[in-house]
Chain A
Amino acid sequence: MEKNALLSIRNISKRFGGTQALNDVSFDIEKGEIHALLGENGAGKSTLIKIISGVVAKDSGEIFLDGEPLRVKNPQQARTEGINVVYQELSLVPGLSIAENICASNERMNTFKIMDLNDLGEDVMSILGRLKVDPKTPVKALGIGAQQMVEIAGAICRNCRLLILDEPTASLTDEEIEELYKIMAMLKEHGTTIIYISHKLSEVFDIADRATVLKDGKFVTTANVKDLDERTLVRLMTGRDLTDMFPPKAKNIGPVVLDVKDYSGPGFENISFQLHEGEILGLAGLAGAGRTELCTALFGVQKPYGGAIRLFDKEYKPRKVKDAMRAGIGYLPEDRKQAGAFMQMSIKENSVAATIDDITKCGIIDNKLAKENTLSMIQKLNTKVGSINDRILSLSGGNQQKIILSRWLLANPKILIADEPTRGIDVGAKFEIYQILRSLADSGMAIILISSELPEIIGMSDRILTVYKGSVSMIIDSHDPALEEKIGAGIMGLSFDKSGGEVVQ
């Protein structure tokens, strides 16, 4: 055991039924460090966190907190030991104020057993100070990112020695992530140890000191982040090389299928571009730059103000989503939970959601056809499911996404808009989604790919459209030698000086 270890994990194993979730895992979390915990879905990260925080019991092994054996039976006990977990799903009460939420979550009471709303502690106040909000503001008035900060503030309010952040950035914008980093750095300075779980590898390099990789329930390595690079991490996590991550680019790009001219609408202005058969067109831009707005307008969700679109050389003016679908457009939405999945419905019902009318004969749903279609797509996309009558909720993020993708493939679209198709899913599933998208393009589908992850945009797109403040700032070919710099300039709204390769205002 290292002297400096806050948390020593020794030979932890855990079995759930037939799966060995954790197998003899040992490593140390040092005092005052930010320690990234990495691995694909099913690698055992969540199980390990649940064991540390007392949600599930370990089968064997020991955990030492500051040298003392840690024996917690439930999350409350873990909290008294100073171990706090902030989950991706928030647990705040929307109607209560920030202060009330923070106090309620850790029963911060004064002598009269009344919540002491004024005594929030220094760290909490400095977090709230960063948010520039009054602690009396109701939580529902905050954005999702600010809510996440409040949740963290609530956690550190309770004498926090170890703060565990489970995918805190999944629903945050870039600025909010920056803000989160600053808060994490401040907490670290004040001596809080942080375990950080994320699917976005770039974040690990931004913020973490050390990283531990788990794979299939086994410990792979712990290393200083300085000594790692993205390529190595991916290989450690998946056993695959990053260069193999992305499939080869399009060989045959066909004729123009979609021709957008001077298209304006809520959140975007004067947008013109063309989309070709068999092409993946990357749409890069900061959150709020109008990427999603543009595509939802193309899909008939939002009404545009003006402009002209020709689809397969015919005028295209969708008034509703159904029009877009009939015209051969599919849309894989950005927010899987809110706009994609019918969480409480079955895998089958989710799979056929966009084709109910097609499998309805004389008004009656052909259940046999629904089943066949679902199964054929599950097979085609290699989706891991138990029974197709299980709720989609029971699947991992990656498999949920594949079911929603298969929903659109059943509708047989000629153009697919994929809005952040790999958000919140693990590296292995990402790889598969990339292969699927490329093979769809190779079979003649035209794909618009919206992504906030630059490597994804670069690795997948044949051409890249950068959007800045609602307008197209650049259209770049993927073979361009200065590709990365140009995209970077494009999404920041800078012009690019071709001769020198310099970015100028």
Chain B
Amino acid sequence: MKALSAKGFPGALGRNSVVSAILHKRELIVLLLLVVIVIYLQIASEGLFLRPQNLIIMADRKAPEAFVTIGITYLLITKQFDLSVASVMAFSGSATAWMMVNEFSISAAIMGGLFVGCLVGALNGFLVTKLGIASFIATLGTMYIARSGAQIITQGSPIGDLPESFIEMGKLKILGLPWYFLLLIVAIITMHILLKKMGGMNKLFYIGTNDRASSMVGIGTVKLTWIMFIVSGFIAAIAGIILTAKSYSASPIAFDKMEMRYIAACVIGGASISGGQGSIVGSLLGFLLIVLIGNGMTLMGISPYWENVIFGTILAIAAIADAYSVRKRGG
């Protein structure tokens, strides 16, 4: 059937133009879904949901994690995968904590944590671009390595007793909002626009769509892909360090198995595993959707065991939409 669907019926695209137009505005669908969920939660929770306390708590808890969707989205667009992010978060957080309790200055410790993130990212990039290992496998390997790294550093138990000024950093608020929440908003908007407008970033779409054709028009596919892995590791490190400050300690098992959640959030937001598609805002909205569902269920007293059912269903729907749009594209 592949031959038939690829050749298609003349006019088939035209007939479905409304459907495909909506599919191309995935951000819009997710946003609409979010609004519906918010209204529903607001009514069902009898006005509890939209209270400022609840919103600030959510933003405070989840904003640091939301950063990693940026790096993951870049990689998905490039038709790559990064399973190591959650482990890198724990690894970088642990490294920073370890350096601080071992008499390094706070700034040196933070630099150290960021360096660890970049290092894992660079390793991922090397394995994928230079050795030609599929990114799923390469980053699955570094996922285990980084997780072990965190466990070795911490000797298996959380590192506490962090310097007071480091803890204060996690509590810093600007205009009543956590600073990293504001940074997240700024980063999302900037990265979203840069991805679309910046020449260098735009090349990611070319690489993800057709790697070979990209190198034939002089796009440095190896270099860019490698950089994106480093960016992903770097961003995961930022998230890990912020979360360490927020939770007063670095735990080697923090965010275990969360990488799939982050990737799923991006896919829900329109990034495609088949490459060449996705946006930063879309991925953030996908992340928000997951967070809201979790929070809403807690508010409404639904058993958390049901959370994954709903989450899995949404992911399946997103995947079907993705498959549908890929087929329409003739891919």
Contacts and interface: CB of A to CB of B under 8 A. Distances in A.
Contacts of B7: 46, 87, 89
A17 B12 CA distance: 11
A363 B217 contact: no
Contacts of A17: 11, 14
A356 B210 contact: no
Contact of A301 (B6, B13, B215, B331): B215
Contact of B329 (A47, A344, A367, A407): A344
Interface string A304-322: 0000000000000000111
B2 A91 contact: yes
B217 A407 contact: yes
B216 interface: yes
Given A345-B206, A354-B218, A338 B212 contact: yes
A353 interface: yes
B325 to A, nearest CB: 10
A341 B198 contact: no
B10 A47 contact: yes
A86 to B, nearest CB: 8
A56 B2 contact: no
Given A339-B212, A342-B206, A343-B209, A356 B199 contact: yes
Given A21-B10, A339-B212, A342-B210, A87 B217 contact: no
Contact of B13 (A333, A344, A345, A394): A394
Interface in A317-332: 320-322, 324-325, 331
A343 B213 CA distance: 10
Interface in A1-54: 16-17, 21, 46-47, 50
A364 interface: yes
Contacts of A223: none
Contact of B9 (A56, A331, A333): A56
Nearest to A367: B197
Contacts of A482: none
A393 interface: yes
B122 to A, nearest CB: 21
A321 B199 CA distance: 18
A320 B202 contact: no
A340 interface: yes
Interface in A86-124: 87-91
A363 B199 contact: yes
Given A321-B215, A339-B216, A364 B198 contact: yes
B276 A344 contact: yes
A90 B217 CA distance: 27
Interface residues of B, number: 34
A141 interface: no
Given A75-B4, A91-B3, A321 B11 contact: no
Given A322-B220, A340-B216, A343-B210, A16 B11 contact: yes
Contacts of B213: 333, 338-342, 353
A191 B9 CA distance: 31
Given A21-B10, A47-B10, A391-B329, A320 B220 contact: yes
A55 interface: yes
Given A89-B3, A339-B212, A365-B202, A55 B218 contact: no
Nearest to A338: B212
B217 A321 contact: yes
A321 B218 contact: yes
Contacts of B218: 320-322, 324-325, 354
B200 A301 contact: no
Chain B, interface SS category:
helix
A272 to B, nearest CB: 26
Contacts of A359: 199
A439 B202 CA distance: 33
B110 to A, nearest CB: 28
B216 A55 contact: no
A75 B199 CA distance: 46
Nearest to B223: A320
A78 to B, nearest CB: 12
A357 interface: yes
B18 interface: no
A75 B11 CA distance: 19
A333 B216 CA distance: 8
B3, B14, B213, B331 pick with most chain A CB within 10 angstroms: B213
Contacts of B3: 87-91
B10, B202, B219 pick with most chain A CB within 10 angstroms: B10
B14 A393 contact: no
A260 to B, nearest CB: 21
A335 B203 CA distance: 21
A89 B2 contact: yes
B81 interface: no
A367 B197 CA distance: 8
Contact of A365 (B13, B197, B209): B197
Contacts of A364: 197-199
Interface in B180-213: 197-200, 202-203, 205-206, 209-210, 212-213
Contacts of A367: 197
A356 B329 contact: no
A357 B220 CA distance: 12
A365 B198 contact: yes
B304 interface: no
Contacts of A338: 210, 212-213
B174 interface: no
B175 interface: no
B189 to A, nearest CB: 15
A360 interface: yes
Given A338-B212, A342-B214, A344-B330, 6 more contacts: A46-B7, A321-B218, A342-B276, A345-B205, A353-B214, A363-B200
Closest 9 CB pairs of A and B: A360-B199, A87-B3, A354-B217, A322-B218, A321-B218, A16-B10, A89-B3, A342-B209, A344-B329
Interface of A: 16-17, 21, 46-47, 50, 55-56, 75, 87-91, 301, 320-322, 324-325, 331, 333, 338-345, 349, 353-354, 356-357, 359-360, 363-365, 367, 391, 393-394, 407
17 contacts: A16-B10, A16-B11, A75-B4, A89-B2, A90-B3, A91-B3, A320-B218, A321-B215, A321-B217, A331-B216, A338-B213, A339-B212, A341-B213, A360-B198, A365-B198, A365-B199, A365-B202
